């Protein structure tokens, strides 16, 4: 049904200033949002700018369009007015809806802070603009009378300020410190602030705040403090825990320093992430280094070229397991062998190899810092023999000699020979000997007492595989060195007189050392 006499153009006809005003207001709203939120709403800005421009054009030329003889332009202008108003209102709708959702989120965040945190908003003169209910309750403010009062005066309604950041300070000191505070701080910087307090009962507490400064157009306008309060018990707990941790760290540090200063081992720390190696004084002396620290690249340059590629290959393939490698190293006066063993450690962004370096290179007889130093001498051997005989024990004597050591000493140096001796002594000691009953009677000859029947049988079984038990090999750099062992074995019940057991074992060794003898070991009972 159409109303009689109704003209739609007369209905929509309106003042041309209306769409211009509406679009201009929405444009201003968009600009304010962009400024306040520091976000450029590009789509809204472009749409409202276009609407304002179109509305302005229509407003300027409307009188000419209205007075023209062509009614079509007037109809187009009226439709454009309605369209511009609809676009403006839609833009306003979405903007308001968006703002309301943000306001809702902001309200929830504020509520959460209000109930769970100590926070206070201060202006540039340190006057309180806003405070959380939790802090209000603590300070016994219920009616908002703190508003626009100096924050430190507000604090001292209940507490006495005795310090700042754990250093002695009073209210006057803090007021002086924060005077012209905007000239002392940077925009956007967050500072950690502690206010140390004391109540009327001399009970200490502290308020811990994160302080965020507020700048507008480069000018300081105030700051926001957000944090918590710790009472005496909390502070005592934290301080006690920190003190205990520091005490433990100091103790570990002291122990570590004592170990480093008194150890006869060559200790090193190779920090792969910074390419630096630290050596203790033992290694500085043995490797003829200029100091305790050097770059890893400089150290690698002194590794023998034929060993360097093998060393780098093994180091690059390490995970977090222990490793061991031997290589030649140039000390400036010649090459020595280094046996390096340690472990790769990864903590946060630090990757480090730490362990021990054993240096072999002195061609004179010396202390070896090895199992050789743990063996007894001939006098101790005789005392132990007498003790075992007096106790009426049946035991086995193993008399062995490392035959190829002189050739190894000549070819590689006495230090390498000592290392080969050490490795074999370690095998005998760990697998067959009880109570350290192993003795060095000459440079190459050793005597061991075996008192355990099971270990006697284990030795017999091991001798059936001569290649395993009577040959010991080690790799030094790119060279594999092998030494041959001759062995004579005797039991106390092989003859009527147990005191002859050492002599009998030596006789068996001489037989085993004979080139005409088929085996590298001999039992006295089989040759007597």
pLDDT tens-digit map of 252-281: 666 666 666 666 778 898 988 888 999 988
pLDDT at residue 99 tops 60: no
Name which of 378, 398, 486 is nearest 439 in CA terms: 378
- The runs of H, that is alpha helices, within 128-231 are 133-138, 151-155, 171-177
Q: Which two tokens stand for residue 56?
A: 């302005």
Rounded to 10 degrees, what is the CA torsion of 76, 80, 86, 91? 150
Q: Which residues contact 426 (CB under 8 A, 6 or more apart)?
A: 370, 371
Range from 15-24, 133-142, 173-182, 245-254 carrying the lowest mean pLDDT: 245-254
> Residue 448 in contact with residue 436, Cβ under 8 Å?
no
Q: Is the model's pLDDT at 468 over the cut of 70?
A: no
Which residue, 425, 331, 327, is CA-closest to 374?
425
Measured between alpha carbons, how far is 264 from 10 in angstroms, rounded to an integer?
108
Write down the mean pLDDT value for the chain.
78
Taking each helix axis as running N to C, give the angle between helix 71-116 and helix 42-67, from 0 to 180 degrees, rounded to the nearest 10: 150
Helix axes 414-431, 453-463, angle to 10 degrees: 130
102: pLDDT strictly greater than 60: no
Beta-strand pair 190-198/266-271? unpaired
SS3 state of residue 347: strand
The per-residue pLDDT for 399 is 94
Among 21-30, 98-107, 126-135, 194-203, the range scoring the smallest mean pLDDT is 98-107
Give pairs for 368-374: CB < 8 Å, separation 24+: 368/415, 368/418, 368/419, 368/422, 369/264, 369/265, 370/418, 370/419, 370/422, 370/426, 371/422, 371/425, 371/426, 371/429, 372/418, 372/421, 372/422, 372/425, 372/440, 374/429, 374/436
- pLDDT tens-place string over residues 296-340: 999 999 998 888 888 888 888 877 678 888 888 888 777 888 888
| Rg, Å, the chain Cα set | 46
pTM above 0.75, yes or no: no
Using a 10 angstrom Cβ sphere, with 0-12 exposed, 13-18 middle and 19 or more buried, the burial of residue 144 is: exposed
pLDDT at residue number 42: 75
Segment of 112-116, 370-374, 431-435, 477-481 carrying the highest mean pLDDT: 431-435
What is the pLDDT, as a whole number, of residue 510? 92
pLDDT digits (tens, 9 = 90+) for 46-66: 877 877 777 777 777 666 666
For the cut 50, the answer to whether the pLDDT of residue 368 exceeds it is no
> Which contiguous run of DSSP H or E holds residue 109?
helix 71-116
Per-residue pLDDT averaged across 159-167, rounded? 90
Give the pLDDT confidence of 391-424 residue by residue, as tens digits. 888 899 999 988 888 888 787 777 777 778 888 8
Give the integer Cα–Cα distance in Å for 438 and 307.
Answer: 35
79-93 average pLDDT score? 69
Most confident by average pLDDT, 22-36, 337-351, 475-489:
337-351
């Amino acid at each position: 049904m159409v109303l009689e006499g109704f003209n739609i153009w007369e209905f929509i006809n309106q003042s041309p200033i209306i769409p211009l005003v509406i679009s201009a207001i929405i444009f201003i709203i968009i600009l304010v949002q962009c400024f306040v939120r520091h976000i450029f709403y590009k789509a809204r800005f472009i749409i409202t700018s276009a609407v304002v421009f179109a509305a302005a054009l229509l407003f300027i030329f409307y009188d000419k369009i209205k007075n023209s003889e062509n009614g079509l332009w007037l109809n187009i202008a009226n439709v454009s007015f309605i369209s511009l108003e609809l676009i403006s209102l839609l833009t306003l709708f979405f903007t308001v809806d968006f703002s309301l959702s943000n306001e809702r989120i902001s309200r929830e965040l504020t509520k959460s802070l209000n109930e769970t945190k100590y926070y206070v908003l201060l202006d540039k003169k340190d006057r309180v603009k806003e405070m959380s209910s939790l802090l209000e309750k603590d300070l016994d403010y219920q009616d908002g009378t703190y508003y626009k009062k100096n924050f430190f005066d507000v604090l001292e309604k209940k507490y006495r300020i005795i310090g700042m950041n754990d250093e002695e300070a009073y209210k006057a000191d803090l007021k002086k410190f924060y005077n012209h505070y905007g000239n002392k701080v940077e925009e956007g910087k967050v500072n950690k602030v502690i206010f140390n307090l004391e109540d009327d009962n001399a009970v200490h507490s502290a308020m811990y705040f994160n302080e965020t400064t507020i700048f507008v157009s480069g000018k300081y306008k105030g700051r926001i403090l957000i944090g918590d309060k710790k009472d005496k018990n909390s502070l005592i707990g934290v301080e006690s825990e920190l003190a205990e941790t520091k005490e433990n760290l100091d103790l570990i540090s002291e122990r570590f320093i004592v170990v480093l200063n008194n150890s006869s081992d060559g200790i090193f720390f190779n920090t792969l992430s910074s390419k630096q190696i630290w050596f203790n004084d033992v290694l500085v002396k043995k490797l003829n280094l200029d100091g305790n620290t050097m770059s890893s690249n400089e150290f690698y340059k002194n590794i023998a070229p034929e060993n360097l590629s093998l060393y780098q290959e093994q180091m690059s393939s390490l995970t977090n397991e222990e490793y061991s490698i031997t290589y030649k190293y140039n000390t400036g006066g010649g090459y020595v062998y280094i046996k390096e063993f340690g472990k790769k450690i990864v903590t946060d962004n630090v990757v480090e190899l730490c362990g021990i370096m054993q240096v072999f290179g002195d061609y004179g007889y010396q202390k070896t810092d090895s199992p050789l130093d743990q063996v007894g001498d001939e006098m101790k051997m005789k005392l132990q023999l007498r003790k075992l005989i007096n106790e009426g024990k049946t035991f086995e004597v193993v008399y062995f000699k490392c035959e190829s050591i002189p050739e190894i000493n000549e070819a590689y140096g006495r230090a390498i020979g000592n290392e080969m001796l050490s490795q074999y002594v370690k095998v005998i000691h760990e697998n067959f000997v009880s109570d350290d009953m192993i003795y060095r009677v000459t440079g190459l000859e050793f005597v061991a007492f075996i008192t355990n029947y099971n270990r006697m049988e284990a030795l017999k079984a091991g001798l059936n595989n001569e290649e395993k038990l009577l040959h010991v090999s080690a790799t030094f750099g790119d060279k594999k060195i092998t030494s041959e062992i001759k062995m004579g074995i005797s039991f106390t019940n092989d003859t009527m007189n147990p005191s002859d057991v050492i002599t009998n074992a030596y006789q068996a060794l001489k037989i085993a050392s004979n080139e005409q003898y088929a085996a590298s070991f001999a039992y006295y009972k089989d040759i007597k």
